[in-house]
Amino acid sequence: MGGMIGSGIFVMPGQLAPFGWTGLAAWAVVIPGVLVLAGVVAQLIAARPDATGAGAIVGDALGPLPGLLINWSYWVSIWSANAVLAQTAIRYMAVFEPALASSEWALALWSIALIWAMTLLNLRGPQAAGRFQLLTMVLRILPLLAVMIIGAQLAAAGAEPGAAVTLKPFDGSSFTMVMAIAFYTMVGFETAGVAAERVRDPARNIGRATLIGVALTGLLYVVVCAIILSAIPGDALAASPAPIALFVDRYWGAAAAQLLAAFAIIAVVGCLNCWVLMQGEHPLSMARAGLLPRWFAATNARDVPVGVVLLATLCTSLLLLSSVSSDGGLLTFMLNLTSAASLIFYLGCCLAALRLGVGRALALVGIGFALWALYGSGSGALLNFALMAAALPLYWWTRRAVSIRRH
């Protein structure tokens, strides 16, 4: 559950507001779809608890080239997720200093600065990063609890927050696109199985923990989004850089909104810290599994893969700079890219499950959902395929190096 509660819910009300009932209806497909994918991943990891994670199982089941491309896509999802996290933190900082998010360029440049700051923290080693992560974990839930308390207060007082707000009617033509955006909030459920070899009775406990975490997180998100969308006009939410702070400001005042924004900033920066650590650890594990050249596995005295951490941060920076547009769609594009790149990984998990004979019926349903959501991510999917192709020279390099060592 901790891996999923990050930036998504702090910006999602603003992303879904223009779509009205379509945005709320998307959850009715996203949550069951993610439960299916989570079930497949959990069964894979439970079947191979000795593996270092679902990515390693995918590589073993599908072969070196598919394994590389699918795991590379997951690495791309980490780059783009970091871009979303950084933007979210800057947007909530703009509650105190609006100039930080006064334009797409300002938002991109300040986001890049924050990502590099967290990268420097992680270069000091996983211990320093881990202490910071522990400090911020509990703060992720406090802003969401504030929304639920306000909703309960309104209900207890007999208020009807939706009376003054008319949600746009359901529009089937935009449903698939909205579903792909909402899917972003659930990315991260696979982290429950990272330490499967340390879990008692993994066949039972990993699956249970994953499914309960997805269900509770999904329910929390639906409630929070429904309360906010029914209380604040969609145009105001879409225009606000910090929609949850806007909601709290309306009912509890500016001081409470600023306190919530401060909690949100700390929480999102803590989540960013976690994923900056992951952007080095994931290619490190790929290199050790023989999917990437050996230099991806090079670490310093503190066991930090400095080269790949810096490379990933550079890629995130370039993604942000190259995606700035005049229509204000930077955040939406990064959400779609993250969803698309993650969906390729989950699709790979489903294909691996079919190949290994693990939960085949569930895997088939997961493939259908993943392809549907991938289609909805639009240009994000196209860019992800282009970024996956960038891994092909590394595959040939790795195969050639292995061949030379054998001879």
How confident is the model over 116-148, as pLDDT tens digits?
999 988 887 655 555 555 556 667 778 888 999
Q: At what angle do helices 175-183 and 21-47 cross, to 10 degrees?
A: 50
Per-residue pLDDT averaged across 185-189, rounded? 85
Measured in degrees and rounded to the nearest 5, phi and psi for residue 389 equal: -65, -25
How do residues 73-97 score in pLDDT, each as one tens digit?
Answer: 999 999 999 999 999 999 999 999 9
pLDDT band at 195 (very low <50, low <70, confident <90, very high): very low
DSSP type of residue 290: T
What single-letter DSSP state applies at residue 168? P
Burial of 157 from C-beta contacts in 10 A (0-12 / 13-18 / 19+): exposed
Average pLDDT over residues 220-233: 91
Quick check: 194 pLDDT over 50? no
Burial class (CB in 10 A: 0-12, 13-18, 19+), 236: middle
pLDDT recorded at residue 293: 84
Which H helix or E strand runs over 192?
none
Q: What CATH number does domain 8-406 carry, 1.10.10.10, 3.40.630.30, 1.10.287.130, 1.20.1740.10?
A: 1.20.1740.10
Q: What's the rounded mean pLDDT across residues 7-19?
A: 89
Low-confidence winner among 3-12, 91-100, 140-149, 302-311 (lowest mean pLDDT): 3-12
Tokens matching residue 4: 């999923």
CB 274 within 8 A of CB 118: no
Percent share of the chain, pLDDT over 90: 53
275 residue type, one letter: W
**Residue 192: phi, psi to the nearest 5?**
-65, -25
Average pLDDT, the chain: 86
Domain segments of the chain as ranges: 8-406
Tell me what pLDDT residue 191 has.
63
pLDDT, residue 197, reads 45
Distance CA 211, CA 262 (A): 31
- pTM of the predicted model as reported, rounded to 2 decimal places: 0.90
Q: What value does the mean pLDDT take over residues 377-385?
A: 93
Q: Which of 8-12, 189-193, 312-316, 325-329 is the most confident on average?
A: 312-316
pLDDT reading at 205 higher than 90: no
355 or 126: which carries more pLDDT confidence? Answer: 355
Question: For position 123, what pLDDT does the model report?
Answer: 82
Q: Averaged over 152-172, what is the pLDDT? A: 77
**Rounded-to-integer distance, Cα 183 and Cα 178, Å:** 9
Least confident of 146-160, 213-227, 338-352: 146-160
pLDDT reading at 198 higher than 60? no
Confidence at 192, pLDDT banded by 50, 70, 90: low
pLDDT at 54 over 50: yes
Q: How many CA atoms are closer than 13 Å to the CA of 178, on its beta-carbon side? A: 23
Nearest C-alpha neighbor of 109 from the set 305, 318, 274, 291: 318
User: Residue 377's closest CA among 343, 329, 328, 351?
Assistant: 343
pLDDT bin (cut points 50, 70, 90) of residue 29 is very high
C-alpha angle with apex 91: 149 to 132, nearest 5 degrees?
A: 75
**pLDDT of the residue at 167:** 87
Is residue 165 predicted with pLDDT exceeding 80? no
Residue 404 has pLDDT above 80, yes or no: no
Q: Which of 9-23, 183-197, 266-280, 284-298 has maximum average pLDDT?
A: 9-23
Q: How confident is the model at residue 213 (pLDDT cuts 50, 70, 90)?
A: confident
Q: How far apart are CA 160 and CA 155, in angstroms?
A: 7
